[in-house]
Amino acid sequence: TDLRPIRSPRGVPLLGHTPQIPATNPFEYFAELSKQFPEGIYGMDIAGIEQVFVYDPDLVAEVSDETRFFKQIDKTPLAHVRDFLNAGLFTAHQHEEEWGRAHRILLPAFSQRAMKGYFGQMLEIAQNLAGKWEAREGKPVKITDDYTRLTLDTIALSGFGYRFDSFDKDELHPFLNALLETLIESLRRSQELPMMTKLRKADDRKYRDNIRLMQDLVESVIKERREGKGGGEEDLLGLMLEATDPDTGKALTDDNVRDQVLTFLIAGHETTSGLLSFATYSLMRNPHVLAQAYAEVDRLMPGDTVPDYDTIMQMDVIPRILDETLRLWAPIPLIGKAPHEDTVIGGRYQLKKGTRVNILEGPLHTHPKAWDRPDEFDIDRWLPENRAKQHPHAYKPFGNGVRACIGRQFALTEARLVLALVLQKFKFSDTADYKMDVKEALTRKPGDFELVVRRRKEHE
Ligand code: HEM
């Protein structure tokens, strides 16, 4: 055989690579390191755990084979996210019965047909955003914050019949602040030795308080429903409370319902707000694409036409903008897998059973083996004839296999609608000449992204 070692950057004795992992934006650092290892794989020893990073599309194809690799929770940041999401869908171990049960119960709520059912609520919240921006004519708006208000309000209303009314307030909802701090803390914990975490007593107290705040909110959401307020039997909460698993006949436990509601409030908004923010940023940088988007919106939604579900489904340019944004700016920068047994990938790299293998989205999505002019924002890659020629494992913004994103259609439907409505009504100017400043908290978003918004006039 032709086994070769997996190369590593230089580390230090005993501490391995831990000291060189930056406290902020570690994923950006991992992506940067990939440039030193053109073979598409490298290894590091972080907080005593051997980790492997892969981004060559052929290696990723092997890691995506579910007969050989599974979604790893232990030894990843998700092990700490389990402090507050327990066996919710995102953080459940594959072997936990809670995963299959919730997956089967909730799948119907994410069918294409179900999206039509959420459309009215998605539109209502998108119009709240537009209303806020209309009132700020000519002034700078915090783009990412407003998309976060929008995506949180949308998942809460369409999934749970609960209203955050985020656009009524100047401050972000305390839930969002608690969530941000919690995510950053859990990410930090996964990057340091447990004894360091123990020493940070005040941070631990804050972490627990934040988790309590989020769980209290979730409990009030569930209580409202039990008292018969808001929502329908077929929304997410309706299914969680009433439906039973078609395979086993079992219902979700009360604790698991709480964990699932919090899971969906988080997973259902963080990433979509990142997508919308990066898409808006990309349009500002690519005026010829922006012009195509305006042309599509003006054709399908002339004047103040209110879009319906079919309008959104007829779009061609806007969906390709979203596809390309997810290629260059995947909101979830890394997904964790591990082999069931000792194995060899690429015919030469040996991996022990259970090794943490991270798929690095950014380097994969720009790998020269799979992408021409990889750094160029080119929506024509997503024309059907070009899509058909793509490497089958070079694009994974929604993850892989049975543990891929259940909310993909939801996210894409919402993002299409919001982008269309915003482009129908507004033009943007980047008076502050924004430089991309990615903020990572498990997911990533543009930090402090502001643009000036103005209403579009006829023929502009
Ligand atoms: C899982 C990305 C929107 C709910 C995932 C995973 C990725 C992802 C990469 C797999 C993570 C892993 O392997 O560890 C995204 C992106 C989104 C998005 C890029 C938006 C652009 C949503 C929405 C919802 C949602 C809107 C809910 C309404 C979930 C859930 C899982 C998941 C529950 C766990 C699925 C399972 O393991 O069974 N998402 N997501 N996501 N996502 Fe999304």
Question: For position 224, what pLDDT does the model report?
Answer: 86
Mean pLDDT of the region 73-80: 88
Query: Which of 271, 272, 355, 443 is an active site residue?
Result: 271
Ligand 1-lining residues (CB < 6 angstroms): 71, 89-90, 103, 155, 263-264, 267-268, 271-272, 275, 331-332, 335, 397-399, 403-407, 410-411
Bridge pairing between strands 356-360 and 349-351: unpaired
Cα(183) to ligand 1 centroid in Å equals: 16
Query: Residue 5: pLDDT above 80?
Result: yes
Atom of ligand 1 nearest to the CA of 330: 19
Atom 1, ligand 1: which residue's CA is nearest?
A: 405
Query: Which of 110, 244, 311, 398 is an active site residue?
Result: 398
Cα(299) to ligand 1 centroid in Å equals: 32
More confident residue, 81 or 12: 81
Atom of ligand 1 nearest to the CA of 410: 26
Q: Are 358 and 334 in contact (CB under 8 A)?
A: yes
Distance (Å, rounded) from C-alpha 396 to C-alpha 42? 19
Question: For position 77, what pLDDT does the model report?
Answer: 84
Distance (Å, rounded) from C-alpha 144 to C-alpha 184? 18
Which of 70, 121, 264, 405 to mutate for ligand 1's pocket (most ligand atoms within 8 Å of CB)?
405
Verify whether residue 69 is a known catalytic residue: no
- 199, two tokens: 């020493």
Query: Residue 459: pLDDT above 60?
Result: no
**Nearest CA to 7 among 32, 44, 35?**
44
Query: Can you name the residues that pair with 110 across neighbouring β-strands?
Result: none
Distance (Å, rounded) from C-alpha 174 to C-alpha 129? 19
For 370-392, write each residue's pLDDT tens digit. 999 999 999 999 999 999 999 99
For 251-301, write each residue's pLDDT tens digit. 999 999 999 999 999 999 999 999 999 999 999 999 999 999 999 999 999
Distance (Å, rounded) from C-alpha 210 to C-alpha 181? 8
Cα(289) to ligand 1 centroid in Å equals: 27
Q: Are 180 and 273 in contact (CB under 8 A)?
A: no
- 308, two tokens: 């319906």
Q: Which one-letter DSSP state was computed for residue 71?
A: E
Query: Can you name the residues that pair with 286 across neighbouring β-strands?
Result: none
Q: How confident is the model at residue 190 (pLDDT cuts 50, 70, 90)?
A: confident
Q: Letter for the amino acid at 166?
A: S
Mean pLDDT of the chain, nearest integer: 94
Q: Are 328 and 366 in contact (CB under 8 A)?
A: yes
ipTM summary value: 0.99
Atom 43, ligand 1: which residue's CA is nearest?
A: 405
For 326-356, write each residue's pLDDT tens digit. 999 999 999 999 999 999 999 999 999 999 9
Q: Are 342 and 324 in contact (CB under 8 A)?
A: no
Q: For 54, how many CA atoms within 13 A lie in the half-sphere containing its CB?
A: 28
Verify whether residue 164 is a known catalytic residue: no
- DSSP letter for each residue of 339-407: ESS-EEETTTEEE-TT-EEEEEHHHHHT-TTT-SSTTS--GGGGSHHHHTTS-TTS--TT--GGGS-TT
Q: How confident is the model at residue 314 (pLDDT cuts 50, 70, 90)?
A: very high
Q: How confident is the model at residue 198 (pLDDT cuts 50, 70, 90)?
A: very high
Query: Residue 234: pLDDT above 80?
Result: no
- 44, two tokens: 């590091």
Mean pLDDT of the region 115-140: 96
Cα(403) to ligand 1 centroid in Å equals: 9
Query: Residue 458: pLDDT above 70?
Result: no
- 120, two tokens: 């009215």
Percent of the chain exceeding pLDDT 70 equals: 98
Question: For position 1, what pLDDT does the model report?
Answer: 67
Cα(118) to ligand 1 centroid in Å equals: 18
Cα(408) to ligand 1 centroid in Å equals: 7
Q: Which of 139-148, 228-237, 370-379 has the lowest average pLDDT?
A: 228-237
Cβ-count burial 24-50 (b if 16+ within 10 Å, e if not): ebbbeebbebbeebeebbbbbbbbeeb
Question: For position 273, what pLDDT does the model report?
Answer: 97
Residues with Cβ < 8 Å from 3, sequence gap 6 or more?
344, 348, 349, 350
Distance (Å, rounded) from C-alpha 156 to C-alpha 321? 26
- 206, two tokens: 């804050």
Query: Residue 460: pLDDT above 70?
Result: no
**Nearest CA to 30 among 274, 263, 356?**
356
Verify whether residue 405 is a known catalytic residue: yes
